[in-house]
Chains A and B, each alone.
Chain A
Amino acid sequence: MTQLGRIYLLAILIFLYTPILVMMAMGFNESQLYELPFSFSTRWYVALMDNQQLLKAGMNSIIIAVITAVISTCLGTMASIALSRRTFRGKSLLQLLLLPPIAIPWLITGTAMLVFFYWSGIGRGMHALLIGHVALAIPYVVLVVGTGFSTIRADLEEAAMSLGSTPIHAFFAVTLPLLFPSILGAALFAFAVSLDQFVISYFLATPGYSTLPVQIYSAIRKGFTPEINAISTLLLLGSMAAILIFARFAKPGDVRDKR
């Protein structure tokens, strides 16, 4: 049974990683047309260094993703605190309304944003992209941090207060440190949502300002070179590193009270 399970797991991993590995390998192949036999070369990485458009789009993607992660994590965490620790009118309605945006097709959200931003004068460009990405990421943050909250017992803060903490001190001394792995996870999630985002970015990008997915998409339409594989590989390694660092630091479930 365990043998079968191992084979199954291996099959899933192969299924998940083969296309990515092939993509990465092709970035190191001499041929522009992805022809075999494979002959190792770094020429596409060298070429990439001169491809200002791709590099700039990649940079934009990372900047937008980082800012989105910071803003949405702050806003989402605050919302999460209110939703899990306070009672107020319309709370359950708000909680309910947070979920549909995750399920609404991005094409629809994107169209709605484009129309709304045009109508309200916000327009397109970096700021519009940021607003869009933050709006998209917040529900994920609220979900992830909210789950983290549910593992922290409310009586920990009460214990702190009985020992002389004001509610604010109790929050910073007890709840926030315990919540930290969830907040970090949520930030990473928001970063990934933003980095991944194509549809909304495509709608809100301007000819002078676009993100990597948008740039790759237009490159594919125009005919492309393995430079795309090269930048994708770099980006992939960057995200993987971030996730591994997170896993190392957060040790999910380790510091939390599991009782």
Chain B
Amino acid sequence: MRVTVKLFATFRDGRFKVEEKNLSEDSRVLDILQLLNISPEEVAICLVNGKDVKEQHLLKDGDTIALFPPVGGG
């Protein structure tokens, strides 16, 4: 299946802004994180098609995944 991965803020550093990825069926958000060398603890927000999900969330063909690191400074 094909999914679109969007990265935000510092996750773009050394990676990309938006890319399409081919994944095997039954892939989860966690598999994308592994592919991108991002540990689950580094993720503040993970949206799939605009909805909050956990890293165990099962992906479907055509999904758009958006990943945000924590931005907490003041």
- A and B physically associate: no
Residues of A within 8 A of B (CB): none
Residues of B within 8 A of A (CB): none
